[in-house]
């Protein structure tokens, strides 16, 4: 199957061209159908492609003079969108020159440029940033919003749930993913008015391809009991950073413990298969690729410090969203949301 090509901001991320191009090359070795538009300094890209002949044959280069820095304000980045590698990659999606865009650059700038260039889908008020988190269950957890919107009302949260469920069906293959709203308790009386209103609306949306199971607390996110966790960007970003920080803490604590004595070092050798499995499960490169949901186009954010493997995984996520027609799935669910009794549920909740 031939896919639309993926535009990659080759200059984004901590390592720049070498890692982005090598990641694209690794993704193509795994999936020969992938085609790319590499955007950035043409000389540097050509030099990197010399090491990846398999990628060169499936790639076009779009030269960009400028790069958006990691600390650049979104308003400044917007003014330079048509001259920067990130801006040109996203505009390639808008203009039909690419089916999706990937960048490891400035998240705020990326959201601002993508929202202005692609606009939000009909029926979506605000786009949301969604990512996959590892769990103890059989599937990863889709969590959104992770920072695009610090304040959200009930309508926003309902829309996030619809988009997150559509993404989860692609990522996990589950026909009716379990959806919950992040809250300070699981009881119906807990949380803000917006959370309770959103819960009432989702309970009344019986036609949607999801199982809405009420609320979930942050300490249960990675247990494997939920497939989609929905929240505002403020709470979501804090929860994500807490999960990531805890994972690093556990890893560092294990290293310190195993190095504390000769007996501990021997214990490490014995338990090494288990610790390697833990390391693999917690490695963010294995879950790299956050998606801006709700736009008229697919835009994926790779972690700035992602390795070659991490970039390849972000590219693979992007390709799968193209293959599985994410935009069309969300459009169909939004149509059912408008006719499935949600308005009635909202009125009844007031």
Instruction: Count other Cβ atoms within 10 Å, centred on residue 69.
Output: 13
Query: With 70 as the cut, is the pLDDT of residue 317 above it?
Result: yes
Q: How many CA atoms lie within 13 A of 144 on its CB side?
A: 30
Q: What is the mean pLDDT of the chain?
A: 85
The average pLDDT across 152-179 equals 93
- The number of angstroms, rounded, from the C-alpha of 247 to the middle of its chain's C-alpha atoms is 19
Q: Residue 277: its pLDDT value, please?
A: 52
Helix H or strand E segment including 143:
strand 141-144
Cα distance between residue 126 and residue 122, in whole Å: 10
Q: Which of 258, 259, 303 is nearest to 283 (CA)?
A: 303
> Domain locations in the chain?
1-118, 123-288+324-350
**C-alpha–C-alpha distance, residues 242 and 222, integer Å:** 12
> In this predicted model, what pLDDT tens digit does every residue of 185-203 receive, in sequence order?
888 888 889 999 999 999 8
Q: Specify the pLDDT at position 336.
A: 80
If pLDDT is split at 50, 70 and 90, which confidence band does 164 have? very high
pLDDT at residue 128 is higher than 70: yes
Containing 182, the helix (H) or strand (E) segment is strand 178-182
The CATH number of the structural domain formed by 1-118 is 3.40.718.10
Q: What percent of the chain has pLDDT over 70?
A: 88
- Rounded CA-CA distance 71/107 in Å is 10
Hey, what are 100's tokens? Answer: 């999706």
Confidence category of residue 117, pLDDT binned at 50, 70, 90: very high
> Of the CATH numbers 1.10.8.50, 3.30.365.10, 3.40.718.10, 2.60.40.10, which one belongs to the domain with range 123-288+324-350?
3.40.718.10
Contact 235, 216 (CB under 8 A): no
Residue 348: predicted pLDDT:
38
Q: How do residues 255-309 score in pLDDT, each as one tens digit?
A: 777 677 776 666 656 655 655 555 555 566 667 778 999 999 999 998 888 888 8
Q: Estimate the crossing angle of helix 154-172 against helix 308-323, to 10 degrees.
A: 100
Query: Does the structure show a pLDDT above 50 at 349?
Result: no
Residue 72 has pLDDT above 70, yes or no: yes
* Per-residue pLDDT at 280: 54
Give the pLDDT confidence score for residue 268 in this predicted structure.
Answer: 58
The pTM of this model reads: 0.84
Round to whole Å and give the CA distance between 338 and 138. 32
């Amino acid at each position: 199957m031939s896919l639309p090509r993926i535009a990659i901001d080759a200059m984004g991320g901590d390592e720049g061209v070498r890692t982005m191009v090598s990641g694209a090359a690794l993704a193509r070795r795994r999936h020969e159908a992938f085609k790319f538009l590499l955007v950035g300094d043409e000389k540097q890209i050509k030099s990197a492609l010399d090491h990846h002949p398999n990628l060169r044959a499936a790639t076009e280069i779009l030269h960009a003079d400028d790069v958006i820095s990691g600390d650049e304000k979104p308003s400044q980045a917007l003014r330079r969108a048509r001259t920067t590698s990130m801006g040109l990659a996203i505009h390639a999606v808008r203009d039909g020159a690419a089916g999706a865009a990937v960048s490891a650059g400035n998240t705020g700038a990326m959201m601002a440029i993508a929202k202005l260039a692609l606009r939000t889908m009909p029926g979506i008020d605000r786009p949301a940033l969604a990512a996959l988190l590892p769990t103890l269950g059989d599937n990863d957890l889709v969590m959104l919003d992770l920072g695009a919107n610090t304040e959200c009302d009930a309508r926003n949260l309902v829309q996030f749930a619809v988009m997150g469920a559509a993404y989860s069906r692609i990522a996990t293959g589950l026909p009716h993913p379990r959806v919950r709203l992040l809250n300070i308790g699981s009881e119906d009386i807990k949380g803000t008015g917006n959370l309770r209103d959103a819960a009432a609306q989702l309970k009344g949306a019986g036609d949607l391809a999801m199982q809405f199971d009420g609320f979930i607390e942050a300490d249960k996110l990675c247990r494997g009991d939920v497939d989609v966790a929905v929240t505002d960007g403020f709470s979501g970003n804090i929860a994500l950073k807490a999960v990531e920080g805890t994972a690093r803490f556990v890893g560092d604590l294990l290293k310190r413990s195993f190095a504390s004595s000769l007996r501990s070092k021997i214990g490490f050798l014995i338990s090494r298969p288990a610790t390697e499995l833990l390391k693999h499960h917690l490695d963010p490169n294995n879950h790299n690729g956050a998606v801006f949901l709700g736009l008229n186009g697919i835009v994926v954010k790779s972690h700035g410090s992602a390795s070659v493997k991490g970039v390849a995984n972000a590219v693979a996520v992007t390709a799968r969203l193209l293959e599985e027609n994410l935009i069309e799935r969300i459009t169909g669910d939004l149509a059912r949301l408008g006719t499935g009794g949600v308005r009635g549920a909202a009125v009844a909740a007031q």
